[in-house]
Each structure stands twice: as structure tokens, then as C-alpha cells.
Structure 1
Amino acid sequence: MLVNAAGTSFFYPPIKHSFVRNYFTKTNLQFAANHPKINALISRKNEQTHSLFTSCCHPPASQLKAAAAAVDGHTGIGILEFFQGKNIFVTGATGLLGKVVVEKLLRSTSMGKIYLLIKAKDKEAAFDRLQSEIISSDLFASLKEKYGTSYIGLVREKLIPIVGDICKPNMGMDSESIDAVRKDVHVIIHSAASTTFNERYDLLVDSNVIAPQRVMRFAKTCDKLLLFTHISTAYVNERREGIILEEPMIMGGDDGAVDVADEISLLLRSPPNNNDATTNFFRKIGLQRAEMLGWSTTYQLCKAMGEMCVNEIRGDVPLLIIRPAIIESCYSQPLPGWIQGMRVLDPVIVSYGKGMIPAYLANPHVPLDIIPVDLVANMTIAAIAKHGNTHVTMAQSTIYHVASSLQNPITWFDAFEYLYEYFKEAPLIEGAKISRVKFFDDFEEFSKCLRGEIMRHYGANGDRKMLRQCNVKAAYAEQLCKLYEFVGFLKPRYHTGNIQKLIEEMSKEEQLNFQVDVRNINWKKYFQEIHIPGLSKYVTN
């Protein structure tokens, strides 16, 4: 069925939401250590019961510092006051969001040290990655300009690389690093994750379900910890309809529940190797499990399980969960348009700019829930200051949706209109035919239209070589649309009430220096003057 701007909406059949059952022992905080199936997996990965992270020395609220002065509309949250002298531990600091958070903390606060967990073979290699991927990044140009010749000294004093890997026992850290971070850290930001939608199921479980628990177990041993921040995704809630409130995903629920033990036992069916047959097996089983349990991708299923598990084992550790929608390039600070690598929407944008997507599989009226990365970073920092300042044990985790679908929606139709206006004047390939996209709700009809348009554009006409090239282009476009199909027909809208409260509590100066209000975004300007030029400059060259 072809759908134009005046068409009606169409959605998948409703699928009942699922939850993860509780398979965690509360005595030793090990991941399901009392379950024989999972014990086998843990043993295989050398996750010993004498982990350095099993002792719990997180102080009770009564031993923490006295609460800061009451916040009112004039004094603000106290972002700068909170971060003064605070030491932060960050996983995933070389990723898009982690890097922007680190830059913002350095540029706008007087925090103490930032310990960066970096995957590397030794300390020298970790320093090399710090230099090449963070210190020398274009993102840090404003800092370089601000501090001039003292810039290198500043970042080397403030940024402390720690050799580690969240997928290894004790996060791959040596005992010296563990002791140093455990004694110093006030805030943990767990941003590291595998973000490939349909990666191998075993790899996604390891990085997005088991690894966050390693970080939380470590958090429970930190002497001065005030807050644990877990970066999740809005798409842990995907197929529920209506407005999704900022509520934690709690363990339990008997109807259609996801059994974590059963899910992990699937990973024991084949030896962990990297041959094509094993890779295909784990990808296939991951997609099957995700679809059966109510998610579109293996990534979403594993992020949902990871969030639930961290919430379950946190004990008295205050937990802040950030759920961003589709993160894209910076809107304003420190560098408009800066982005690292292709994000969710970017392969679609680039392919459309090359004339390869004359049709698309989506509902044109569905909001494309995107959010610039600098707003996510600012919101994360502001929320940490607010909840870190409370100095009390949270009865439950606090959730922040970082999304645009309710406060400042942009539909798929709007987005492709902005792309059309831009690329018809400046296509990415000379001579590329850029036309307004045709929307479909049926894959077969979409595929037929797509292939026909591509064949006509390139004039295949029986030329076998050209025919093969057209088929390759069409297959790639189909794969893209199929992979992101769930975004094109997304049913929920993400409530952002906690961000609105945050904005109300921020002082005018804080609102200016830590911009978090998605209502201020001009989407046409963002696409045509910021994001597409940023893609060209920092990704596609």
C-alpha cells in the first residue's frame, strides 16, 4: 500500500510487553550465580566467585555529606557546585556520547579527575588512544582555544586512562587501578555498550546484559560514590502504544516473561568462535528471540534486560537511567554538526543523497524521534548534579527519557522534505536523480517500487553488468529499510516530564550553559545547515 502525506497511519499488531524474571542471588551479587546454566557460561568466561567486586562497602545515606542548600527557581540545581572537585569514572568515553560528556565536563565544570576505562593491551596503548581519539579530536577544539599552550597539560592532569574491558572479569582492570578508582570516584557514568542492532546474540548479551552488572558490582565497593548513571535507550520500550512514562523496568511478571537463564543457556549451544556458521547461528537466534519476546532487534532486547538487571542488583546505590532516542550530531556546542561515525539515520541520509532511496518503508506521519548528542550530554550532566546533590538512597531508580516526539516532533515526511530540498541542489553524486520519496507500509510493494525506480534511473535495459549493479543498490536500500523498519512505524511516544522539571529547576545561567530544551530546536535548520554538512565534513568527507 502506497502512503502519501494525506494517508492514514498503520502499525504492527500489538505485542504484549515482556519482562525479565529475577534470577539473581542477592547474597553474593553475582550474576545468577545460583543457576547451573548460567554458571556454565560464567565459568567459560572465567568469571570467578572471588571477584574483586563482591565486597560491598557502599556507605549508607547517613554517612554521606549533608545535603546541599534547597534548590529554588533562582539558585538553580547547582551544577557547577556539585561537580567542583568531583571525580568521575566513565566507560565508553571513546564513543559518541561518552566523548561529548567528557568534553563538556572539562569545558564547563571544575571537576577533579575523569577516569576513562579504555580497551587497550597496556597502559601505553591506552595513552595512545587517549591522545588520538580524545585529546586530538576536533570536538575538543574549543578547549584547545580556551587553554592555549596549557591545554595538553590540563587534559593530561584531568583525564586518567585506565586499561580495561567491561566484558572481562573485574572489567579487565589491574588491582592498582581498582584501588585508585574505588577510593576516589564520586560518580560513575556507564556509557559503554555494543550498539549494532543485529549483532551476535552472545556478544550483545555479554556487553549489554552481563557487563553492566560488572560495573554495578564495582560501584557497590566505591567508598565515596554518590550516583551511578546508566545509559540505556528509549527503545527498551518499543511496541507498547501511547505515551510511555519514565518508569523503571522492574524484574518480575509471569505472563510471557523473559527468562534470563533460558536466554543465556541458548549461548551454550555452540562453542564461542568466530567462524561464519557460528556467527550466523547467533545472529539468527538473537533475531528470533527478540521477535518472539516483543522487540524488533537483538540490541533492544539486550538493552532492556541489561537495564532491568542493573536496577535489580543495585542495592542502596542511587541509580540514574538515561534513555535517549536516536542520537545524532551536535546542535550547537561545542561544534555544530560534529559527529563520530554513521549513526542510525545517517546511512539512510547518505543513500538518499546518492539517489538510491526513491521509496521508503515508513509511516510518513510517525515522528522521527531524534535528539542531538550535545542535548543528551547536557541533560545527563544536569541530572547527575540534581540527583547526586540529594545524598539520599533512592527508593527506586530515576528515569529520564531524552526524546523529541512529544515536545518538538518531526515526522518522517518532514525529514525527507528537508533532505529533498537540500540534495536536489547538492546531490552527493554528480548527476544523481533526487526525487521526493514515496512511502510504503508493505515491504513487497516498497521493494517493487524501489527496484523499478533504480532500474529506470540507471537505464539497465538488459545490460547485465548494469543490472547487477542496480540489484546490489536495491538490495542495500532494502536492507537499510528493513533494519530500521521499527523506527518507521514506532507506536510509543516518550514522556519527558523529568526533563521539564529539570528545566524549571535550572537557573537561567544553567539553562544557557547546559541547553537541554528540545523545544528550541529548529529541525529544518538542523538538517540542512548543521547535520548534513556535519556528516559531509566529519564522516563521508
Structure 2
Amino acid sequence: MREIFVEKTYEDQSVFVSGATGFIGKVLVEKLLRDCKKIKNIYILLRSKKGDGLAKRFENFKNSIVFNNLRKIDASIFEKLIAIEGDLMQPKLGISESDEEYLSKNLNIFIHCAASVRFDEPIRVALQMNTISTRNMLQLAEKCDNLKGFVHVSTAYSNTNQKIIFEKIYDPIIDYKQFLDLFEKNDDQELDALCQEALKTFPNTYVLTKHLSEKLVSEHDHLPITIVRPSIVTPSNMEPEMGWVDSQNGPMGVLLGASSGILRTVHGNGDLICDLIPCDFVANCVITAGASISSSPTKSLEIYNCTSSQQFNLTWNEFLEMGRQTYMQYPSIKVFWYPGGRMCANYYFYLLYFTLFQFIPACLIDICAVLAGKKRWAIKLQRRIFDSINVFKYFINNSWTWDAKNCQLLVQRLNVEEREKFNFDVSKLDFDKYVEHWVIGSRRFVMKLDDSTIPEAKRKFVFLFWLDFTVKSLFAVLFGYLMLKMYAGISNRSVIKMS
């Protein structure tokens, strides 16, 4: 079994990272700087924005919270970080000819994790961001004089038309070249028609374009390529900080909404197995996969399903209950009502719960706001919650089985001294402890709450518990009274008819 030496492989190498400003990208760059100390340079692709030139965006990136600990240890390490101006939405990644020539002479390893993670993106945008940008990245890699490895970060959901997903390339249901041909011809009518046909099989344009991209990547088998497929990426376990997160997508948004008492119901099957993977595990897997392909004598395509459900047979209901129990120990001061609610597999029951416990209360809140001369906000917020849950519901109403033998073997191939440092061994993850890290991290990094507010939050939590209990009791009494009145009325009418 070929042994992998991560630090040695990245020593004196120049790495190009796309998507460095994203959730996974930030953790990845921080890890490379911190634990691959002899790395030569890390080039990151940055897009200028109106009012924010490249220099300002780069400075903002280096000042990200994710680098706080690294700055304290060695601020000079950021000298290895170099920004390249570009744009995934532009031809040739928007990189200038001079930069392209420079990169082709200096780059050794590509890590392509840039993508649009919006599930409802129009097909033209999704293709450009997720498929065409991948092709452009591969074309740049082909020009490099000393390319050693190319890591494509895909998704475990790229083949949702399969119930058991193996670590292999699946033929797309429609040839990706048809999509690219129509895109380049600007034939939007035919492109939309082709997309609608494909969406009979796939849930959204994100999954579809990731599905197409894998086939495109696999056809560049003359390059040293590896594909990593993470499942639902969640807050970190330990690095760069315990529970670090800067994204509110997916389960993070559900947890925040539920913990604040605003979200009371979710349309999903709580008995299905969930698959969650900490972002630091994903970063470590990507870095190790890059080291593996870069040091491989054969350079043949390597694919890794970076998933957790093969180790943790955890349902959504069990996960949410773990979160609820943990949240009682670390509640938020920014709570609107006592947390509660349920997942509803039946869509009509979900609509009923949503109407009764979210929409009607939101209407009452907005009426009170108008009467008090304040701005309405509750209905708008509930509409956003409803739309975001609708987008995410496909993944909590379906389940898949991932084969992850390659990923497990990749862990074993890591040399013993580096297994702890670049840990992504799911079998050794204490999930109960991890959920605790998740809840603590959400307080610190998303809600921006200091740990000193926990005692006050617990007092508020107790008050809201009794308020919630009182309101529910009054409603139960009122409901019982109305039912008795109704029953008495029916009985009286029956007596009158009999007489």
C-alpha cells in the first residue's frame, strides 16, 4: 500500500486554489498555510467588485476570522499567499495573458473548489459557474510546465439518480457537450428545453451541472486528476477553531431558525439517514487527495466519496434531537420564542403546521409592528424561510448509500505521523461532541455571541419555556371549551329532533 506524505508532497510547491473565499476554500487555505509550512506559494483567484479593487478584496480576505489563530502564530506566513485577478463568469477565467503565462510556468497543483451552491440558479449561470469554469481551469492546467496534480471538488449528490453511489464516474443522462454547444451558440430556448428534460431526473441546476462536470473532468485523463465528493458540509469539528462556520446554508440555517424559535416545522422525512461532514474533514481530505495524486506513479483518476453515513446510521430526527438537547446547555440570547416544532414528511401537514405556527403568528407580529409605527419584517422573513426550505427539501426527503472504500483507504495510506494532523477519519468522530462544537460555533461565529451571555440566555430560556407552556395550555383549554360547546350544541339539536 503506497504511503502518503502530505507535508513532503506540498514542500516547495505552488498551489492554485479557486473558490478560496467560499466556506470550504477558507478552511482549505488556512490549513495549507498552517500545516504545510514549506509550501512555496498559494495563488487564489479573486474577482474585483464595484468599489472594491483586487487589493482591497485581498486584504479583506486575509483579515477573515478564519485566519485569527494563524495571525497570532506567524503573520509572515501570509507572504506565501498571492491573489490573481479573475472571474469564473468570464472566458479563460478572466485571467490576463501575462498572469496566465506566469502561472503556467510556476504552478504545480490545482485545487478547484469554486462553484455556485445556489440550487435555483438559471441554467446559463449554473453551467458557467460549475461546468464551463471547470473546463477553463483544466485548460489552464494543461498549459502548466510542471503540473503534478489537479483536485476537482464535486459533491456526493452529483449522481442522485443512483441509490447506491460508488466511487466511479457515471455516464451523464445527457451528453454534457450538448449543453456546452447550446450555451456557446446562445440558443437559450433549446438550452432551457434540454435543461427541463434533465430536471426530470435531477432536482436542480446545481446537481445537474455538477453531474455534467464530473464527466468533463474524467475525459481529461491525460492529466493527474482526482475528484473529491463531500456530502452536506457542516461547521468544523476542531479546526481552524472548534465549530467554525461562516455559512447559513442547509442544516446550519435550519438549526439557527429552529434555535431562535422562528422555524417551527420543516418538510422532510425525519426517519431518513442524514449525511453530514465537518468542513475541516473535507479540507483535510482534499489536501490529502492532492498529495496522493501528485505523488502517484501511475497518475490514474482517483475518486473519493467524502461522506459519513457509512459510519453513522443517524436519522434527521436523531440529529435534531441531539441539537435540541445541546442547545439547552448553550442557548442563544437572540431567541424569539421557546424552540420547538417538528419535521413533517406529509406536505399537507407541513403546510398546516407552517400556516398555524409560523405564518399566522408572523401576520400578528406585523400587525402589531404597523400599529406601533414600526417596519414590518415577520412575513417577509417567513417567506424567505419557506422558499429556502423548499429548495433544500429534496435532500431531506430522499436518502442514498455511498460506497466510501477509497476514502477510507486514503485515511489508512496517510503516514502515521500525519493522521492526526490531517484527520478526516469519520470512524473516530465523536458525533455527540461534534454537535456540541457545532452549537457553540454557531453562537460564536454566526450569532456573534460571547460565551459570557450563556447564563443570561439560560434565564431567558426558562422564562420562554413557561411562557410557551402557558400559551399552549390556554389554547388547549380554549380548544377543549369550544369542542364541549360544539358537542353540547349537537346533543341539544339531537334531543329536539327526537322530541
Instruction: Give the TM-score category using the shorter length.
Output: 0.7 to 0.9
2:97 counterpart of 1:175: yes
Code of the aligned partner of 1:244: I
Task: Work out whether residues 423 and 434 of structure 1, in 8 Å CA contact, stay in contact via their aligned partners in 2.
Answer: no
Q: In structure 2, what is the equivalent of residue 63 of structure 1?
A: none
Q: In structure 2, what is the equivalent of residue 155 of structure 1?
A: 78
Cα distance change of structure 1 residues 315 and 371 upon mapping to structure 2, 3 Å threshold: closer
Deviations 1:99-149 (A, max 9, x none): 211111111111111111111279x9323222211x2222222322222xx
SS at match of 1:400: strand
Equivalent-residue separation in structure 2 for 1:259 and 1:187 (angstroms): 26
Equivalent-residue separation in structure 2 for 1:461 and 1:215 (angstroms): 50
Q: In structure 1, what is the equivalent of residue 324 of structure 2?
A: 420
2:355 counterpart of 1:454: no
Q: In structure 1, what is the equivalent of residue 234 of structure 2?
A: 328
Task: Work out whether residues 201 and 286 of structure 1, in 8 Å CA contact, stay in contact via their aligned partners in 2.
Answer: no
Equivalent-residue separation in structure 2 for 1:164 and 1:363 (angstroms): 42
Structure number with higher helix proportion? 2
Q: Unmatched 5+ residue regions in structure 1?
A: 1-69, 272-280
Deviations 1:32-84 (A, max 9, x none): xxxxxxxxxxxxxxxxxxxxxxxxxxxxxxxxxxxxxx84xxxx411121111
Task: Work out whether residues 288 and 422 of structure 2, in 8 Å CA contact, stay in contact via their aligned partners in 1.
Answer: yes
Equivalent-residue separation in structure 2 for 1:174 and 1:462 (angstroms): 51
The Cα shift of 1:385 comes to: 1.2
Equivalent-residue separation in structure 1 for 2:378 and 2:87 (angstroms): 42
Cα distance change of structure 1 residues 212 and 462 upon mapping to structure 2, 3 Å threshold: closer
2:186 counterpart of 1:268: yes
2:415 counterpart of 1:507: yes
Cα distance change of structure 1 residues 463 and 142 upon mapping to structure 2, 3 Å threshold: closer
SS at match of 2:199: helix
Code of the aligned partner of 1:164: G
Give aligned pairs, total. 440
Equivalent-residue separation in structure 1 for 2:366 and 2:117 (angstroms): 41
RMSD: 3.0
Equivalent-residue separation in structure 2 for 1:285 and 1:346 (angstroms): 34
TM-score normalised by structure 1 residue count: 0.74
Q: In structure 2, what is the equivalent of residue 19 of structure 1?
A: none
Task: Work out whether residues 358 and 382 of structure 2, in 8 Å CA contact, stay in contact via their aligned partners in 1.
Answer: yes
Task: Work out whether residues 89 and 116 of structure 1, in 8 Å CA contact, stay in contact via their aligned partners in 2.
Answer: yes
Equivalent-residue separation in structure 2 for 1:462 and 1:228 (angstroms): 52
Code of the aligned partner of 2:66: L
Q: In structure 2, what is the equivalent of residue 380 of structure 1?
A: 286
Equivalent-residue separation in structure 2 for 1:245 and 1:128 (angstroms): 43
Equivalent-residue separation in structure 1 for 2:88 and 2:33 (angstroms): 24
Matches within 5 A, 1:289-328: 289-292=197-200, 294-312=201-219, 314-328=220-234
Q: In structure 1, what is the equivalent of residue 473 of structure 2?
A: none
The Cα shift of 1:250 comes to: 3.7
Cα distance change of structure 1 residues 176 and 263 upon mapping to structure 2, 3 Å threshold: closer
2:360 counterpart of 1:432: no
2:167 counterpart of 1:246: yes
2:27 counterpart of 1:100: yes
**Higher Rg of the two aligned structures:** 2
State the identity %. Answer: 25
Q: In structure 1, what is the equivalent of residue 428 of structure 2?
A: 520
Matches within 5 A, 1:14-413: 71=2, 76-109=3-36, 110-120=38-48, 125-133=53-61, 135-147=62-74, 151=75, 153-156=76-79, 158-241=80-163, 243-250=164-171, 257-258=174-175, 260-261=177-178, 265=182, 268=186, 288-292=196-200, 294-312=201-219, 314-394=220-300, 397-413=301-317
Of 399, 410, 415, 1:491 maps to: 399
Q: In structure 2, what is the equivalent of residue 52 of structure 1?
A: none
Equivalent-residue separation in structure 2 for 1:346 and 1:301 (angstroms): 23
Task: Work out whether residues 153 and 286 of structure 2, in 8 Å CA contact, stay in contact via their aligned partners in 1.
Answer: no
SS at match of 1:145: helix
The Cα shift of 1:532 comes to: 2.4
TM-score normalised by structure 2 residue count: 0.80
SS at match of 2:419: helix
Work out which structure has the larger RCO, using CA pairs closer than 8 Å and 6 or more positions apart in sequence: 1
Equivalent-residue separation in structure 2 for 1:532 and 1:480 (angstroms): 21
2:465 counterpart of 1:538: no
Cα distance change of structure 1 residues 290 and 533 upon mapping to structure 2, 3 Å threshold: farther
Cα distance change of structure 1 residues 288 and 472 upon mapping to structure 2, 3 Å threshold: farther
Deviations 1:215-243 (A, max 9, x none): 101111111001111111111121322x3
Cα distance change of structure 1 residues 170 and 459 upon mapping to structure 2, 3 Å threshold: closer
Cα distance change of structure 1 residues 448 and 506 upon mapping to structure 2, 3 Å threshold: same
The Cα shift of 1:504 comes to: 1.7
Code of the aligned partner of 1:257: I
SS at match of 1:142: helix
SS at match of 1:317: coil
Task: Work out whether residues 267 and 346 of structure 2, in 8 Å CA contact, stay in contact via their aligned partners in 1.
Answer: yes
Cα distance change of structure 1 residues 259 and 306 upon mapping to structure 2, 3 Å threshold: closer
